[in-house]
Amino acid sequence: MSAIDEIKQRVDIVDVVSQYAKLTKAGRTFRALCPFHSEKNPSFFVYPEQQSWHCFGACNTGGDVFSFVMKKQGIDFGEALRMLAQRAGVTLPSRAERGGEDREKQKLYEVNEAAAQYFQSQLDAKAGEKAKAYLLKRGLSQKTIADFQLGFSPDKWEALKQHLIDTGYTEAELLNAGLIIEGEGGKTHDRFRNKVMFPIADARGHITGFGARVLDDSLPKYINSPQTPLFDKSGTLYGINLAKDAIRQQELAVIVEGYLDVITAHQNGFQNVVASMGTSVTEKQVSTLKRLSKNMALALDADAAGEEATLRAVSYENTLDAEVKVIIMAKGKDPDDVIKEDAKAWEGLVREALPIVDYTFNVVTAGLDLTKASGKAQAVDKLLPIVAEIKNPIRQAHYLQKLAQLLNVSERSIEAALARIRPRQGRIKLPKQETTPSRHPLLSSPVEEYCLALLLQHPELKGSAQGFLAEYFENSENREIFIAWQQSDKIELVKESLEPEIHEHLESLLTRELLGDRIEQKYAECALRLREKFLRSLTMKIQSVLALEAESGGGAAELAKLEEQRIAAKTQLAEVLAQTKQMRLGQRGVR
Ligand SMILES: [Zn+2]
């Protein structure tokens, strides 16, 4: 999660605003005398659910917690970011540190790339014959070997080290990248020797580390790069650089365990497959995948899907607000075997993947005699804690019903058991993983992001974007990027003028896959949609205020003014809708 998202989750806009204005609860909102302009009747509102604010008085503007602090303190986004970070207890690296860090990282990417190229060259050399034979025996094609940049590390202590130092890298850089290790007496040598090398890349295709496999049956079978400034195993998904487009297109990410599972899947045309780098998927990996698709299917060994794994998966379901499915393979088989034997069979397994909660129901109840009271009690003991973890009320109700039917008891008794479990819910501790306090849901806006991605990737749209207001972006990062883009023609300059914390977000917009045709048309459509969204939200806010005013017998002048604003917003909305309709008709005419 980005520092900005973390701040948004931890800071409550109601707390922040109440430092500057006396808030009074009014229905689902809070109201106050506007802290920005002087007034007698409160026309400033805070919306806790949306974590936003709006002034219907002289300001006639609104935004999120960042824009509130910026306006109130008269500071820029960067300063607001630092202020709120401090409040939220989120550490931001300083600009100078960040600059140095960026250069350091850049150097490490380069050194990794150079190492990968060296390993590749060794695979084709005499020394790599055995490794090459191993890969071919595993069924990999030359093209696949090249696509995944597979390589070989020679059986020597200083082969890579010497090569890279000759190329101009320093020993310190190699150590920092985890490519060499310090041995006894401080002498360094290659970390990877006599192994098949799997370069590991991030979503942008930059190599962050390496996986390495022995050529015989010795143990450990695999070793990885250590934790480095670039490589963090818990956040890494092997193959993500080659899988991301397919995951987006197919709206499904399939997660397997091993490097070869990924490679074999891709070679057989299943490109939406990545590996989790360990036995269980982590929160960090889920948040990376979430940007591509919210649908995930885990390929699990039949034994691996225990109740603990299910509990964790349910917490991911809560994050994704979607079901996590499981692809169940026969005991001792992995995707590599299944796909090589019969690619169609794998396709079938993926198609028939079960929601993980259903799967766990099957496994648990299969071993119990549900006609006996003891069997029923055991099923409840094992399954109810899982159902209790489900946050989506409809899905939770579904599984309560399912459990009642399975056990042939009344739904009421199951609900009563759930109610007993609920107060203890806090104690159902997942095996230790990084947990982030999530007080506020992150409101991402796909329309905002799509619109921005179009503008950033297509400079020719600049002319069409006249009259487009920064205000249409509710999300502060998007707003910042849009303003920077308005002021500059070059992406490098846009990037430079933005806070480093926004760079990752900018990068994801710049690399977003957009189909190349009818760009003008697409932009016009999404600009209208964004405007529509803005006006709808504004109308809704005005209406809720009007309702409050009417109840509390607000002044006639205020009511009239609000009514005027409401009519203005409605008129604009009607125009936007008419334009949208016309555009659709126009498209139909073209086709
Ligand atoms: Zn105001």
- Mind listing the pLDDT tens digit for each residue in 522-533? 888 889 989 998
Is the pTM higher than 0.85? The answer reads: no
What confidence tier does 438 reach under pLDDT thresholds 50, 70, 90?
Answer: very low
How does pLDDT run across 363-411, given as a tens digit for each residue? 888 888 999 999 999 999 889 988 988 888 889 999 999 999 999 999 8
Count Cβ atoms within 10 A of the Cβ of residue 236 and give its class: 0-12 exposed, 13-18 middle, 19 or more buried. buried
Average pLDDT over residues 504-528: 84
**Distance from Cα 61 to the centre of ligand 1, integer Å:** 8
**Distance from Cα 54 to the centre of ligand 1, integer Å:** 8
**Distance from Cα 486 to the centre of ligand 1, integer Å:** 26
Q: What's the pLDDT score for residue 363?
A: 84
Alpha-carbon gap, residue 504 to 404, rounded angstroms: 47
**Crossing angle for the helix pair 307-320 and 373-389, to the nearest 10 degrees:** 30
Ion ligand 1 — residues with CB < 5 Å: 34, 36-37, 55, 57, 59
Alpha-carbon gap, residue 149 to 128, rounded angstroms: 14
Q: Is 441 helix (H, G, I), strand (E, B) or coil?
A: coil
What confidence tier does 93 reach under pLDDT thresholds 50, 70, 90?
Answer: confident
**Distance from Cα 44 to the centre of ligand 1, integer Å:** 6
Closest CA to 315 of 447, 416, 431, 414: 431
What confidence tier does 434 reach under pLDDT thresholds 50, 70, 90?
Answer: very low
**Distance from Cα 40 to the centre of ligand 1, integer Å:** 11
**Distance from Cα 57 to the centre of ligand 1, integer Å:** 5
Instruction: Return the amino acid letter for 494.
Output: V
Alpha-carbon gap, residue 23 to 29, rounded angstroms: 9
**Distance from Cα 31 to the centre of ligand 1, integer Å:** 12
How does pLDDT run across 35-51, given as a tens digit for each residue? 988 888 888 999 988 88
Closest CA to 128 of 151, 159, 96, 103: 151
Which residue do the tokens 């009818």 mark?
Answer: 518
**Distance from Cα 42 to the centre of ligand 1, integer Å:** 9
Answer yes or no: are the C-beta atoms of 486 and 549 closer than 8 Å. no
Answer yes or no: are the C-beta atoms of 357 and 387 closer than 8 Å. yes
Structure tokens that stand for 342 in this block: 């019969």
**Distance from Cα 36 to the centre of ligand 1, integer Å:** 5
Which residue do the tokens 């080659």 mark?
Answer: 242
Angle at 353 between CA 348 and CA 356, to 5 degrees: 165
Name the DSSP class of 323: P
- What is the helix (H) or strand (E) element at residue 245, kind and residue range? helix 240-250
Radius of gyration (Cα) for the chain, nearest Å?
Answer: 28
Q: What's the pLDDT score for residue 433?
A: 41
What confidence tier does 521 reach under pLDDT thresholds 50, 70, 90?
Answer: confident
